[in-house]
């Protein structure tokens, strides 16, 4: 009994000393000196105990311990968000089922602040990785949501850097925390949505190398910027639904259909209605063919001479003309509008179109200024295949 009390006291002491260290903060001096990622408090501990040969799948020391079994799996991409990145080392560390970075006999004293539930994976030739662990618990009597820390080491970058922690969207502590401390989206959103397979929870988590990373030497080739980045989460917003699903309402696509996967087709000030009709006919067929798991939205956001009644009447005529059934025809006053929260999408109104494809809220692909050609239809159809994935048919946990 005394040994157990001593163990808990040691755990509490380590927790109190290292909670700040578990938040791998940037160092201003490192940012100025051009260190990729801006520096990281304790990320360098990834090299202590690192095996010479690292696999793309790792089973953590916590897998057979008390707690909810969890599988985290995903793909690491280059800065474009589309090209898989092989041979990237991901180091992770986390709390145990009681919320402690627990020590363990034989653990190097230098890494006790990370606890014994730590490990490494190296992405395979397709950029894939899998971590088998247990779901971490929040720090005892704290306001921080449960999380798994990540730092990455690219084969051609001199130093490691941290990405957003893995957080869980069903964690009641998450939203209050994000209101106070918004995500940095380093490497993309860290928020995962868990699914169930037997007694395991499964969470998909992709990483985009260099995304929102200070001093990152590689740059994505972008001719025109419109929309959020691949890897970030599709935000909630409430357009006016004129035709198709949710007609006559202001429904948030990802709020109501977050379990589904979707594509949002944004059109702003430079509108070619013949091209819009061609795209809508294509998307309507895609939505019909994939209705089990795909939701499609058209969002018109021209801010020139905006009149709500005229815009509604115009889209009603368009929906009737094209016999729209599965595609939601919607509009917002402009892409800068704050009442509908359309501004959160960061759409460039000068772009002819912006296609945002998301999977369980996370943006997995994006296209700007596409022409409605056979080649574009094929490319977009192939991109929509990403919205299904290996785990779509798995159930979600029951939430209170």
CATH number, domain of 70, equals 2.60.130.10
Determine the pLDDT at residue 26: 57
Which of 38-42, 70-74, 357-361, 382-386 has the weakest average pLDDT? 382-386
Which of 24-33, 237-246, 353-362 has the weakest average pLDDT? 24-33
175 Cα distance to chain centroid: 15
Same domain, 95 and 194: yes
Domain presence at residue 1: no
Determine the pLDDT at residue 195: 93
Q: What's the average model confidence in pLDDT over 157-169? A: 96
Same domain, 238 and 381: yes
Three-class secondary structure of residue 172 per DSSP = coil
Work out the widest C-alpha separation in the chain, in whole angstroms: 78
Q: What's the average model confidence in pLDDT over 72-98? A: 97
Say yes or no to pLDDT of 1 above 50. Answer: no
Q: Which one-letter DSSP state was computed for residue 224?
A: S
Domain presence at residue 176: yes
Same domain, 180 and 248: no
Please compute, for residue 35, the number of CA atoms within 13 A of its CA located in the half-sphere on the CB side: 17
Same domain, 122 and 166: yes
84 Cα distance to chain centroid: 16
Q: Which residues pair with 119 in a beta bridge?
A: 92
How does pLDDT run across 107-151, given as a tens digit for each residue? 999 999 999 999 999 999 999 999 999 999 999 989 999 999 999
In the chain, the percentage of residues whose pLDDT exceeds 70 is 91
Determine the pLDDT at residue 187: 98
Q: pTM of the entire structure?
A: 0.90
Same domain, 243 and 150: no
Same domain, 198 and 277: no
Q: How many domains is the chain partitioned into structurally?
A: 2
Nearest to 64 by CA among 90, 94, 96: 96
Residue numbers of the domain that contains 198: 43-208
Determine the pLDDT at residue 145: 97
First to last CA, the chain: 36
Can you read off the two tokens belonging to residue 81?
């968000």
Please compute, for residue 193, the number of CA atoms within 13 A of its CA located in the half-sphere on the CB side: 17
Determine the pLDDT at residue 136: 98
């Amino acid at each position: 009994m005394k040994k157990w009390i001593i163990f808990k006291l040691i755990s509490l002491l380590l927790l109190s000393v290292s909670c700040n260290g578990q938040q791998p903060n940037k160092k201003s001096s490192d940012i100025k000196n051009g260190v990729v990622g801006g520096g990281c408090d304790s990320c360098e501990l990834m090299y202590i105990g690192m095996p010479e040969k690292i696999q793309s799948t790792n089973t953590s020391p916590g897998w057979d311990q008390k707690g909810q079994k969890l599988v985290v799996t995903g793909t690491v991409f280059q800065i474009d968000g589309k090209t898989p990145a092989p041979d990237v080392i991901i180091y992770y560390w986390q709390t145990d089922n009681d919320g402690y970075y627990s020590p363990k006999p034989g653990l190097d004293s230098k890494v006790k602040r990370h606890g014994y539930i730590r490990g490494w994976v190296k992405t395979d030739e397709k950029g894939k990785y899998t971590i088998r662990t247990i779901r971490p618990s929040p720090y005892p009597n704290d306001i921080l949501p449960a999380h798994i820390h990540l730092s990455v080491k690219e084969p051609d970058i001199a130093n490691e850097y941290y990405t957003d922690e893995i957080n869980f969207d069903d964690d009641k502590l998450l939203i209050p925390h994000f209101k106070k401390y918004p995500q940095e989206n380093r490497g993309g959103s860290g928020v995962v949505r868990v699914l169930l397979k037997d007694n395991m929870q499964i969470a998909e988590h992709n990483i985009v190398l260099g995304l929102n990373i200070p001093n990152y030497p590689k740059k994505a080739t972008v001719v025109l910027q419109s929309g959020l980045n691949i890897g970030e989460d599709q935000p909630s917003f409430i357009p006016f639904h004129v035709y198709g699903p949710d007609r006559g309402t202001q429904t948030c696509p990802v709020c109501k259909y977050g379990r589904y996967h979707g594509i949002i087709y944004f059109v702003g000030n430079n509108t070619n209605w013949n091209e819009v009709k061609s795209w809508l006919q294509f998307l309507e067929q895609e939505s019909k063919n994939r209705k089990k798991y795909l939701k499609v939205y058209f969002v018109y956001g021209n801010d020139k001479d905006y009149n709500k009644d005229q815009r509604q009447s115009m889209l009603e005529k368009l929906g009737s003309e094209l016999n729209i059934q599965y595609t939601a025809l919607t509009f917002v006053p402009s892409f800068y509008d704050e009442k509908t929260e359309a501004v959160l999408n960061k759409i460039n109104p000068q772009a002819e179109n912006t296609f945002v494809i998301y999977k369980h809220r996370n943006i997995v692909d994006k296209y700007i200024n596409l022409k409605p050609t056979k080649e574009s239809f094929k490319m977009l159809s192939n991109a929509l295949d990403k919205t299904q994935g290996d785990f779509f048919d798995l159930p979600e946990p029951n939430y209170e």
